[in-house]
Each structure stands twice: as structure tokens, then as C-alpha cells.
Amino acid sequence: MLSAHQINVLQHLVDNCEEYITDLAEENGIKNTDASIGVAKFLVAHPENFTKMSPNQKFHYETAIEPLINEVCCDGMTGEDGSCMGNGFIDEDSLLGAYLEQDMRCQHCVATTNSWFENNP
Ligand SMILES: [Zn+2]
């Protein structure tokens, strides 16, 4: 099942940045990217739809949707691999904000950067 946070993020992607889904689908060899968008819309339509996915829908989910909403990697405090101050992933409850700000860092990295600037004006 998807959490409420994940549903919110997916809703945002469907409404505002479908290309995140279609780009990821294309990168992974999916030709019918409309079908991937269709699965995303199916999932946001009702939380219980997650349990009703066909094997084909599940394939689209795992390939083009899940990496965007589940265990999304933090860019790291300095935007480099391995510089994350947290566990390397963006928490679900921070994820929507990360997409909105287009700042793909976890709250630990954001907080550390903010306090650095506060202490080094
Ligand atoms: Zn981080």
C-alpha cells in the first residue's frame, strides 16, 4: 500500500510533472509511456487500487513510478554522492516539499545547510 505522503507526491507528479514518470519509463525501455501515466492516475484515484493492479500495471509501477516515491535518494548536502547527512534517502513526509522546491535533499541535509548559513553569515 502507498502511504498518504506517497499518494500526495504521486498526485503532484501526475498534475504537474508527468515527464518525471515518462522519462523514467523511457529510460527503462517502456515504449508505451501513456500506460505508465495511466497506472499513476489509477493509483491516485483510490488508495486501495494499489492492491488491484494487474501484473502489467505492477510492472509499470515498479519501473516508472516506485523509484520516484519510495526510497528516493538524497542528493547529499553538497550535491555529491555520499555527502548525505541522513540515511541517504528523502523521508516520505519531506518528499513532496523536495519535489516542489526541486531540491532533492533529505531534511537532515537541508537543516545542516541552513544552520551552516545561519552560523556563517
Ligand atoms: Zn541527505
List pLDDT tens digits, range 9-43: 999 999 999 999 999 999 999 999 999 999 999 99
User: Per the structure, how many domains does the chain have?
Assistant: 2
pTM for the full model?
Answer: 0.89
**Domain shared by 47 and 83, yes or no:** no
| Interval between CA 14 and ligand 1 midpoint (Å) | 25
What pLDDT shows up at residue 79? 73
| Interval between CA 56 and ligand 1 midpoint (Å) | 33
| Interval between CA 66 and ligand 1 midpoint (Å) | 19
Within a 13 Å sphere around the CA of 92, how many CA atoms are in the beta-carbon half? 11
User: Which grid cell sits at 37?
Assistant: 501515466
More confident residue, 90 or 79: 90
Structural domain for 20, as ranges: 4-69
| Interval between CA 96 and ligand 1 midpoint (Å) | 15
| Interval between CA 34 and ligand 1 midpoint (Å) | 32
**Domain shared by 63 and 81, yes or no:** no
8 A C-beta contact, residue 20 and residue 13: yes
What pLDDT shows up at residue 19? 97
8 A C-beta contact, residue 59 and residue 102: no
